[in-house]
């Protein structure tokens, strides 16, 4: 059973930084895809960034390019460094995993991923 657990959310002022962590366990595929998403109440869940645990192949949403950095810490941990945060980055952030072969290096939509964490709140405000 794949388990996904996020941590590291919190409150920060505009222009500040936060780092989120995602720990993944129970995967069986040799190169799972890990994605970060965010959701604001009343809006659709939005893809933020993704990578392949062993193959790199990093992809970012345009809204966070140049400000967010996704990184593999080890085979079971992925981080999301968020810099130059804006109020519009406020959301619940979710980590997700796809534990089977994929068909794209850039797809960043919720249905592409099979396992989800519980989410962690990020609030950017003065």
Confidence (pLDDT) at 55? 74
The distance of Cα 113 from the centroid of its chain, to the nearest Å, equals 11
Evaluate whether 8 touches 20 at the Cβ level (below 8 Å).
Answer: yes
Give the whole-number percent of the chain exceeding pLDDT 70. 100
Residues of the chain above pLDDT 90, percent: 92
Distance CA 91, CA 73 (A): 24
């Amino acid at each position: 059973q794949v388990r996904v657990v996020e941590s590291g959310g919190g409150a920060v002022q505009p222009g500040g930084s936060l780092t989120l962590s995602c720990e993944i366990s129970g995967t069986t595929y040799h190169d799972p895809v890990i994605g970060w998403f965010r959701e604001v109440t009343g809006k659709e869940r939005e893809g933020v960034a993704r990578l392949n645990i062993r193959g790199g192949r990093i992809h970012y949403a345009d809204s966070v390019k140049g400000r967010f950095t996704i990184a593999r810490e080890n085979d079971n941990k992925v981080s999301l460094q968020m810099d130059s945060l804006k109020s519009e980055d406020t959301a619940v952030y979710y980590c997700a995993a796809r534990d089977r072969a994929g068909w794209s290096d850039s797809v960043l939509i919720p249905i592409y991923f099979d396992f989800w964490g519980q989410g962690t709140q990020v609030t950017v405000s003065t």
